[in-house]
Structure 1
Amino acid sequence: MGIIKVLPFVLLAVGMFLVFKKIRQVPSEMTTKSPSRKMLGCCVCETHIPEREAIMYRDKVYCSEAHLKQGLGEDE
């Protein structure tokens, strides 16, 4: 008879757990992957960096200003 008295509380606890789990869930539109980011290789050290962080000069890619200067020194 003890189980019959405890069963409603167990069911209530499980129900509350499921509700809170659903509330905390991130909406599916927020979990979609961000658009792929193009990676470019530095023409001096060949390190790959995101396109948005790259320094582009004369159709060449550089990972830093130091490598840009180094690359310009080689072109002359």
Structure 2
Amino acid sequence: MIIKLILVLLLGWTGFSLIKRFKVSNSNRSSQKGAGQKMVACVICDTHVPESDVVIKNGKNYCSKEHAE
């Protein structure tokens, strides 16, 4: 009787550990997908910003609206 209880607890703990490990590995993969964004330098201060955040004026890249003026 006690051996069955220990076996059930051991199987439950193993299953929980596997599920937890699977969730952590999936979250690591999804966070790495957005990490490949190109960085662009501002022509005024040489600060590098993601390409999606850059302000473009007259074909030049700026880090902010203030530097674009």
Query: Same fold, TM exceeding 0.5?
Result: yes
List 4+ stretches of structure 1 deviating above 3 A.
5-8, 27-30
Q: Which amino acid aligns with 1:18?
A: T
Deviations 1:18-58 (A, max 9, x none): 21233342286662531510001111111111000011122
Which sits farther off after the overlay, 27-36 or 47-56? 27-36
Partner Cα separation in structure 1 for residue 26 and residue 4 of structure 2: 36
- 1:18 and 2:14 are equivalent in the alignment: yes
In the alignment, structure 2 segments of 5+ residues that lack a partner are none
Indicate the percent of aligned positions where both proteins have the same amino acid: 26
| Number of residue pairs matched by the alignment | 65
Shift of 1:6: 4.2
- 1:34 and 2:33 are equivalent in the alignment: yes
Which has more radius of gyration? 1
Tell me the secondary structure at the aligned position of residue 19 of structure 2.
helix
What RMSD over aligned residues (CA atoms) do the two structures have, in Å? 2.5
State TM-score, norm by structure 2.
Answer: 0.70
Partner Cα separation in structure 2 for residue 20 and residue 29 of structure 1: 16
Partner Cα separation in structure 1 for residue 7 and residue 59 of structure 2: 66
State TM-score, norm by structure 1.
Answer: 0.64
